[in-house]
Structure 1
């Protein structure tokens, strides 16, 4: 049994000390030096505390589209993604084409965003790096909800000023508008939480085809001036990679396009990275950027198999993301499973090369400590070390749930069973920064 001492005197819970191999509450309190007046929170006999999951790539406005697919990436974007995202900010969305009285898009945004925050918290996701929409007001709604509901969130208004490669009904009308709206979103989010400790803006050029050279240059300057995080897609799909090569012949790679605009920094989250070349991996490693591995999405959209072990061997930070709704589930635990399965397929295709395997222990690390590195929170999130924030989920393997425990299993085996059979019903309580933000009835 382990125990940690959490100090909440500064208004947010920080782990002050941890001890392991204690046998009871009294000895834990003594070793922690907590005193008898400390509030004691214990997991049930059939449960344990686990670090909160960190979803390093998720699209909040796509939540209603979970499980809807059409062709590969570019087809899916056109049929499902852009219509849904635009419906949260304008009555000109194709989803309202046959409606004589379309609903208030901002009321719709509030409904969707409230649900995605509540659901991801219920799944044990304490931190999420969200793509929002191009609309400032809708993005501000997401930020306000995350702040009030207590989820740690990095929220980005997507930049889409390329007039040729964005839908006519869903784009920034000019580069100047895109940059002005980016600043407006940044300013609002920082006014909500000036410390950036809970909710912070993240500069978000959606992906190279959606942006112009001018906007990418400007966004790189904004991020470097303000030391903000950046997030964007890279090398998710072979047709996307070919399109970028066609659009930017002056650069020798997709990663090279971003680097030419100073978008590859030590605070950059690159979603997917399925089809990166060795040279691109070396460049990303040199810049200190991280990759968000989204295995469920990559499999569902037929995008390919990400070389996680190779990325790690190159010194690249790697975390996990759901990429909802490219991923069919907002559950990070599901992506822990899929990271394992994708790696086993890669191993088989490479003459049964088991050095490519991502075992469940590593997959869990990717969803916590790895993602913490990717979102620039290494040493602050993802574990139970002193100085880390108390972002934690309480897991229960109760007898009426999907995880069947007979009593003779070692704890390592119980955790394995949770990984493969567990779900939302096993998450009893969730804390972010020491604040209880989700509790199962």
Structure 2
């Protein structure tokens, strides 16, 4: 019996960044397409009329009428321990951390609690069509064990790490440079490269890690060259001022990380709102990436990310929901906020650029574009089925649509978890929306 799976419907995927090749050449679309999957990988994608005659007779075709199949969404910055505090009222970043984040994260010393939240978190990601994420744990190693266990059970491609934090936080959440290194190393040995899992060395941000701890983080990156580095950068004006006080010898916030050897391929810095041209140039030179988190930046009042500036400097950029500073797990809603941030900066972000940010752009930011991000043969069969009749309003609005761009943009601006009919990871259905 054939191991090939066949999925029929409209197919849309990103081939390149519209900023590099133009909108018209950035994507591929098949109004009536066929997606062929074998052993969890993309075998082929193309017009159904061309591929159906070549299928072995025994292959069943799963048909998705009134739907759009896209690559799974990629979230380049999110905190799973903050699931239970999403939508918490706060004055600004530092007040918000001390009032909500730190007390909530203390609960993750209990592995049973961590396992419970990991289940809720992953179900929410998949319910919203997100198949890969770069994820913060807490300072507790058991928080990472719980997350990776839940992700492995679903055969998901996920990246996560234990928070490193040895100062400027409550005593009950502190580690030390030595314990942070040792606990991270044990987690790396246990989880990195197991199935589709990857480890990220995760200093929370420079204010909560001493120079000694940042050096230990760099030591881990040297010892395991294919690890990720995941932290925050220039999210908030007060935070940037704090960095100047804590590291007066450094020329900028980014220079703190650079001095300690934390820039490079697979280094992902969340936010990057308040960066000078020199910092942007250095990010590009080192192949480091930024995670654009529009929902949380607006919610916490941190500022407006300058996507055009990053494009000019050639900085890799992915999209992040930043739950729980962000107020939605939905990449569709996050893309809608990204568009609004662009509008406030006097720039219109094309629908195909938005698609790129949530899929292939995220894969490139994570150096996983050989594995994820579109429907090219050999890539992981992680994809989402978007329902073109998800709500009465979406249904009605799309009846008025005269182009693919209009349809995609309306789905982004009106869509949320209800627009996700199904989510697939490695060719297996990991979420299916209940019939209404």
Q: TM-score, normalised by structure 2?
A: 0.88
Assess, with a 3 A threshold, how the Cα gap between structure 1 residues 178 and 42 changes in structure 2: closer, same or farther.
same
Q: Equivalent residues in 2 for 1:382-401 (5 A)?
A: 382-398=373-389, 400-401=391-392
Report how far residue 2 of structure 1 moved. Answer: 4.5
2:415 aligned partner? 422
2:77 aligned partner? 57
Report how far residue 377 of structure 1 moved. Answer: 0.7
Deviations 1:281-331 (A, max 9, x none): 011100000100000100110100011111011010011000000101111
Is the 1:6–1:390 contact (alpha carbons within 8 Å) kept by the matching residues of 2? no
2:113 aligned partner? 108
1:16 aligned partner? 43
2:280 aligned partner? 281
Matched residue SS, 2:430: strand
- Please state if 1:141 is matched with 2:146: yes
- Please state if 1:128 is matched with 2:145: no
- Please state if 1:379 is matched with 2:350: no
Distance in 1, matches of 2:392 and 2:411, equals: 10
Point out where structure 1 has 5 or more consecutive residues left out of the alignment: 90-104, 348-355
Matched residue SS, 1:328: coil
Deviations 1:148-173 (A, max 9, x none): 133321011010012xx12122111x
Report how far residue 212 of structure 1 moved. Answer: 1.3
1:350 aligned partner? none
Is the 2:37–2:44 contact (alpha carbons within 8 Å) kept by the matching residues of 1? no
- Please state if 1:409 is matched with 2:401: yes
Alignment counterpart, residue 79 of structure 1, candidates 77, 99, 103: 99
2:21 aligned partner? none
Matched residue SS, 2:33: strand
Report how far residue 401 of structure 1 moved. Answer: 4.4
Deviations 1:137-196 (A, max 9, x none): 12101110111133321011010012xx12122111x21111111112212223xx535x
Matched residue SS, 1:88: helix
Distance in 1, matches of 2:99 and 2:427, equals: 41
Assess, with a 3 A threshold, how the Cα gap between structure 1 residues 7 and 394 changes in structure 2: closer, same or farther.
closer
* 4+ residue segments displaced more than 4 Å: 399-402
Deviations 1:2-55 (A, max 9, x none): 43453424xxx22222224x4x4xx4323xx433233322212x1110111100
1:98 aligned partner? none
Matched residue SS, 1:15: strand
Is the 1:150–1:437 contact (alpha carbons within 8 Å) kept by the matching residues of 2? no
Report how far residue 235 of structure 1 moved. Answer: 0.4
Distance in 1, matches of 2:87 and 2:400, equals: 37
- Please state if 1:367 is matched with 2:365: no
Q: Equivalent residues in 2 for 1:113-192 (5 A)?
A: 113-162=118-167, 165-172=168-175, 174-190=176-192
Distance in 2, matches of 1:259 and 1:299, equals: 28
RMSD after superposition: 1.6
Distance in 1, matches of 2:108 and 2:390, equals: 41
1:38 aligned partner? 59
Q: Number of paired residues?
A: 401
Matched residue SS, 2:172: coil
Distance in 2, matches of 1:411 and 1:43, equals: 20
Report how far residue 112 of structure 1 moved. Answer: 1.4
Distance in 2, matches of 1:118 and 1:399, equals: 19
Deviations 1:66-95 (A, max 9, x none): 110211100100000011111121xxxxxx
Distance in 1, matches of 2:185 and 2:392, equals: 47
1:434 aligned partner? 427
